[in-house]
Amino acid sequence: MIAVVDDEKSVRSAVVRVLRAAGFPATAFASGKDFLESWHFAQPDCLILDLQMSGMSGIDVQQSLKMAGANCPIVIITAHDSPSLRVECMDAGATEYLSKPFDIRALMHAVSRVVPATH
């Protein structure tokens, strides 16, 4: 299962729709808090995580997962790209980092790299 966490409904819905069309089971979460409250019950094979969200940021979510000992591949998506943010996310454990608007092929490539082929 791929978890998509983005507070922007249109992005969240579009990413889930594309993933499902490609055969990946995907679940959407409107906030980092919503995701963290449920991840113990269904730990994802991959997390697609928006960086700038109201409430809990993507970095906050990454740090919470790291402190909990989670080892889930994380694909960061952000509209606020900067070299320092990229380094911070990768240092915090992100596997991939994509700037919005991203090409859907780039997203599928990133997911395919981290999710086993037998999805």
Dump pLDDT digits (tens) for 79-92. 988 899 899 888 88
CATH 3.40.50.2300 fits 2-109, yes or no: yes
At 21, which helix (H) or strand (E)? helix 9-21
Tens digits of per-residue pLDDT, 34-73? Answer: 999 988 777 899 999 999 998 899 999 998 998 888 888 9
CA distance 94 to 25: 21
